[in-house]
A and B are shown apart, each in its own frame.
Chain A
Amino acid sequence: MEDHKPEEKSEKHEHGGCGGSGSGSSCGSGGDAKGGSSACDGNGGCHEDKSSSVTASSTSSAEPVTSGCGSNGGCGSSDSDGEKCSRSQFLRAAVPCVGGVWALMAAYPIYSYLTPNGGDEPESKVSSVNIGDIKDLPPGSGKNFKFGSMPALITHTKDGELHAFSAVCTHLGCTVQFRPEKDLIWCACHGGCYDPSSGKNVAGPPPKPLLALKVEVVKDKIIVSKA
């Protein structure tokens, strides 16, 4: 793109157009280094001295034009010799910079649009639930239930105690269940096991115990609330 042929430049000059893509479409590239003059009219047309175009072709390899937003050849500032960058250099630096800023400006509303706005709460707003009669939950059994927006689990251990936990496995978020034959809280996804009394992780990959909930029996009804 840098090696503009004089013929191409002179042809462009005749047409007076500038700014298209393809060979010879950029205007005045490198020409300013040798003092070639270029100017643009109000319609975006480009007028150059033919001599400056010829010079551009002969100097572009000796004095490579750098572009970009960095310190080398950055536009909007003069180089070490005090010469201003050409319009071509400016455009080659400005287009990616403006494009980048535009992309960021476009990305922000898209990201905000796609980000969930908290319509559903991470924590259940429910503070307690009645999960039924204690007679329906004999010792050595367990039951999954809904605690607000969170799956939960109650166990009635063989010692007669009631225990309730969040049923969300601390490994990868599957919903756990009580396995009476193993007397364990168990996750079907990756085989994680928890103690049915304490909710402590006792086998498999879960890294933490289950979140405990508070259990009370009021008039034979099981009431589970946040601990």
Chain B
Amino acid sequence: MGWLDERLGLEAAFKFAQKKQVPIHKNSVWYYAGGIALMLMVIQFASGILLMVYYVPGLEAAHASILRINSQVDFGWFFRSIHSWGANLLIAVLVGHLFSAYFMKAYRKPREFTWYSGLVLLVICLGFGFTGYLLPWDDVSFFATKIGLDIASKMPVFGEAAASLLRGGHNIGQGTLSRFFVIHVAVLPLLCLGLMGLHLLFVQMHGMSEPGYFKKLEAAKRTYEKFFPNFFLKDVLVWLLALNGLAALVTLYPWGLGPEADPFGAAPIGIKPEWYFLAPFQFLKLVPPQVGPIEGELFGALLMVLACSGMVIVPFFDKGESADKAKIATYYGLVLLLGIIAFTIWGALS
């Protein structure tokens, strides 16, 4: 141990972990969300590597290789289901993590970069979802990609060029599949690992964020617990519970596979994207073909970007100096969250 300590500085790290404190208050439960997301991310990386052993990113082979994983490879269905269910749970946990941090005002000084790195990580995870969705090459994934790239192409200035780069041609085909595969298994993981490291570093630098009401308490009434071992052990327990939940979902509801994509067939009736893209999907249904001088789909896409842009500017809007601005930020967050929930439910039911 001494030999290792001399070389790795373990004692200093151990002392740091013991010194770190976690505030105890009525919203402390949300502190577990980041840890669960981290655990699910590790599961995604591990199961993704296992799936790559059998997956073939070819137009004629992709669907068949997933069928083989699902039906012929021992525990193939298990690892593929873990990857699919894990992706969905990860997005859900990240959304919870984002909004809990938002409502606890964790974006305020000095945590602006923690906030932004978290926002970008969520976007990266949505990118994982979008690119990974195409890889099985089934009918729903084919049209979901078509819609996604068409929306991207409507964006001003670089939209068409970016969509063309991603599509790898004029139509969705082998070029698209190859590019999405590379993005999914190489580009996004690299970005994600780097940014996760930064995000965790920022959290260690600034400690856990404390909500306003907690900060205002007298020093004697503010209670903390040690991160190590107290909070860490609880974290491990929560990870185990989450892992059990994932295993139950995977076993009881194994992830299916739709019919192979037919680029010349009609979009299947009842086609819907994954739940986390349902809100924009439903919103785009409502936008008329033309809004003034702007095409409807471009107007809809810009409106959605505008609606979410508050998440980017909020650290500079609500700095904790004005109660009114704090209220406005809270109401904005509530409206955005309720809007996303309402459109998601509407999209699921329609």
Contacts and interface: CB of A to CB of B under 8 A. Distances in A.
Interface of A: 114-116, 119-122, 144-146, 149, 151, 153, 167, 171-177, 187-191, 201, 204-208
Given A116-B169, A188-B271, A205-B296, A144 B146 contact: no
A21 to B, nearest CB: 21
B165 A205 contact: no
A145 B150 contact: no
Contacts of B146: 172-174
B91 to A, nearest CB: 21
Contacts of A120: 169-171, 173
B259 interface: no
Contacts of B270: 188
B284 A205 contact: yes
Interface in B248-297: 263-271, 281, 284-290, 295-297
9 contacts: A119-B169, A120-B169, A144-B266, A172-B147, A174-B146, A175-B143, A188-B266, A188-B269, A205-B297
Given A116-B167, A119-B175, A188-B266, 12 more contacts: A115-B165, A116-B175, A120-B170, A146-B264, A149-B171, A172-B151, A172-B284, A174-B147, A175-B143, A176-B267, A204-B285, A205-B296
A146 B266 CA distance: 11
B297 A172 contact: yes
Given A115-B164, A120-B169, A175 B265 contact: yes
Interface string B162-178: 00110111110101000
Majority secondary structure, A binding face: loop
Contacts of B265: 144, 151, 175
Given A205-B284, A206-B289, A207-B290, A174 B267 contact: yes
A176 B268 CA distance: 9
Given A116-B175, A172-B147, A174-B147, A187 B267 contact: yes
A93 B302 CA distance: 39
A144 B284 CA distance: 25
B152 to A, nearest CB: 10
Interface in B124-180: 143, 146-147, 149-151, 164-165, 167-171, 173, 175, 179
Instruction: Please name the 5 residue pairs, one residue from A and one from B, whose CB atoms are nearest each other, closest first.
Output: A177-B266, A207-B289, A188-B267, A172-B150, A122-B170
B193 to A, nearest CB: 21
Contacts of A122: 170
Interface centre among A121, A172, A204, by most chain B C-beta atoms within 10 angstroms, is: A172
A168 to B, nearest CB: 9
Given A201-B289, A205-B289, A171 B297 contact: yes
A13 to B, nearest CB: 34
B143 A189 contact: yes
A207 B289 CA distance: 4
A149 B171 CA distance: 8
A115 B288 CA distance: 33
Nearest to B298: A207
B289 A188 contact: no
A175 B267 contact: yes
A145 B262 CA distance: 11
A211 to B, nearest CB: 15
